[in-house]
Structure 1
């Protein structure tokens, strides 16, 4: 465990005590609402040895760099996800070294397990009584699972229209799930529980959103550590992430910064935000500090990244890394969901496919070079929202019991060879 000194604003560096996790930066609020990050004793970022084969597996392989000790951690075996080389997709987009970090294999099938692990661990250590989350699916499911493991009650505020399987998953873990009429209402109810009841928030709970719990975001640092170790201690040129509020963008960036300080690496990657409505991209274009609330021109299939307004933390990391924000649409996300499943054997939710849409766009314009090493984050399993896929598949082919009649249908459909 790393020694925590407190929290710090990512915009102005103002310091706050460690129990300030349920607030934004009051100094920045009049200009741009900003999230806080964990501050450690300066000894954390001194030169250190790389982990060895005996250092453990998964997220806790890097436990000495996290704000909670493994012995106090609430764990379900998160982290250590596979880094796939996307050989067929690489040929399609003209990028030779294209990889996907497959977070679908985490305990609740999404990258949110890294955040929930750290947040719930911090909550339990602090003596919190109830975990509360506002979520369209993945974050709520992860919070519910880790709360269950910790023996803590969990309440999730969601909204009408959230994918049914994810609601079932949350409730399966024992969470009390409440759907509100309008999306912003969930923050109003959740903020009341935090301020009045002292419940521990793992996700955003007031607007405009600044990001998730700072202790939870530290779990995402391990994504960067793992990617670099899996690439033979080489930093990718680009990291592409589907982005809603930019928690993983910030967490990964902090992980890359750590490794530079440790002497493990000698460069930083460029970060890409694949977003639906273009809020971060608009702020980049205008040179502002506050991503605007964009018009909702269409209903997205990627509900988990469907925010119309981005965050300062997402904008800051893209800007500091000399990265870019890319708008992605429904048709392209569903097309890449199908490509990944049919050519790479990876069935992901539509939001996960947003990263590959961004890769394709950036490669087509020459922004990504053929020799670049590119890593795209696959955030969650396609089984989180199978209805989106099913809508495009058409009717299931059904055949009668009579073999000859069935064979004729199968030949006509191209499944059986036509010359037999």
Structure 2
């Protein structure tokens, strides 16, 4: 598709009166945000930083009563008015390994290795937590069109929540997006605009935002600052759910990381809980990345923070197609610094072996999620300071081509007697 239909070429906003959303400020330099493209002064220094709203005050709330999801505590979200929701959040925690290396049932005391399965969200990924809040923010801002640049999951989620909010949705992408994700975006009514590569995709989105006034749900400038600062607050609910279910037994949380929206949002959620006295300690956060495209791992190998925030690596194609930034978004580094965290680069053969092993155990994840589980499995064997929880960001149904032999016909059907041999 070369361009959206003519009706989508007007101003992307309706008159909406005074601003209804709280201001955003840069967590690195403190500057007020001029728009939703990240902090301009920091970008001029070569550092991608995403401005954020003021932290939520969770005083007087009870984790025992938290129902889950970004709207479980509406006051914790920066968006006024009715929520946009499809029932996102409240995803399960699945025990993968007990404290002595045994199977999941032995992990019931909260130690061992666990998976938080975000594939249980309505469109099959963690992006639903952000897009629910982002669509509500767009509506509060008076927008009629939202736009996202996406390798798949964010686009599918944006399409769903825009439709739920009654907004037009345009997704800029490339032809490398897996077929199931293309079908999902199209079925949900979004306009899908294909460009030759990521740079052209982002440039087209930037033109749409600047020329038409469309409301951006993802980033589109370089170095990337991360996604919409209001939308990303939805990721705090992952931390709230982990704290509700594990409390101070949560020792380490391992997050598959690209632009670090999820990592930073989880970190913000834990800090809000700690500030309100609802959590006794901050879990250690770990960024899990595919080897070969691991800017956080490369950054933390540097000596000083000024060096760390300016690292650049070459992006390398990987089965973990939704991971692979060239620079570390600053708020991801900040989340690691504040939690005494770390980063782990996982070789392709290791996370694909984990992908197959999880499938044999009944859990079908996207390869990007298997990166986190592979990293978490190693950490669980090294550290026993509470549970190690890997975030499984999406279902494997997003990219069925990653499964060896997917779609291949059987050479022949065995006799029934052979099946019992």
Same fold, TM-score > 0.5, yes or no: yes
Q: Which moved more, 1:91-100 or 1:186-195?
A: 91-100
CA deviation string 1:118-162 (max 9, x = no partner): 111100111101110000110000000001111111111111211
Q: Alignment RMSD, CA only?
A: 2.4
Counterpart mapping for 1:322-333 below 5 A: 322-333=340-351
| Alignment pair present for 1:137 and 2:152 | yes
| Alignment pair present for 1:50 and 2:62 | yes
| Alignment pair present for 1:416 and 2:420 | yes
State the 4+ residue runs in structure 1 displaced beyond 6 angstroms. Answer: 92-95
Bigger-Rg structure (1/2): 1
Counterpart mapping for 1:117-196 below 5 A: 117-196=132-211
Separation (CA, whole Å) in 2 of partners of 1:225 and 1:12: 27
Counterpart mapping for 1:192-211 below 5 A: 192-211=207-226
Measured after TM superposition, the shift of residue 90 of structure 1 is: 7.2
| 1:84 aligned to which of 77, 83, 94 | 94
Contact 1:235–1:265 (CA<8 Å) still a contact in 2? no
Contact 1:279–1:291 (CA<8 Å) still a contact in 2? no
Residue 402 of structure 1 corresponds to: none
CA deviation string 1:6-53 (max 9, x = no partner): 11112122234xxx441322332332232111125xxx4363231554
Contact 1:279–1:294 (CA<8 Å) still a contact in 2? yes
Contact 1:99–1:374 (CA<8 Å) still a contact in 2? yes
Separation (CA, whole Å) in 1 of partners of 2:98 and 2:184: 33
| 2:260 aligned to which of 246, 253, 258 | 246
Separation (CA, whole Å) in 1 of partners of 2:374 and 2:95: 17
Separation (CA, whole Å) in 1 of partners of 2:101 and 2:58: 41
Separation (CA, whole Å) in 2 of partners of 1:117 and 1:78: 8
| Alignment pair present for 1:273 and 2:287 | yes
Residue 7 of structure 2 corresponds to: none
| 2:38 aligned to which of 7, 24, 33 | 24
Separation (CA, whole Å) in 2 of partners of 1:333 and 1:210: 27
Residue 236 of structure 1 corresponds to: 250
Counterpart mapping for 1:297-316 below 5 A: 298-316=316-334
Contact 2:83–2:133 (CA<8 Å) still a contact in 1? yes
Residue 74 of structure 1 corresponds to: 84
Other structure's SS at 1:357 match: helix
Q: How many residues matched?
A: 391
Measured after TM superposition, the shift of residue 255 of structure 1 is: 0.5
| Alignment pair present for 1:294 and 2:323 | no
Other structure's SS at 1:255 match: helix
Separation (CA, whole Å) in 2 of partners of 1:416 and 1:46: 58
Contact 1:21–1:213 (CA<8 Å) still a contact in 2? no
Where does the alignment leave 5 or more consecutive residues of structure 1 unmatched? 400-404
Q: Would the alpha carbon gap of residues 174 and 89 (structure 1) be closer, same or farther in structure 2, given more than 3 Å must change?
A: farther
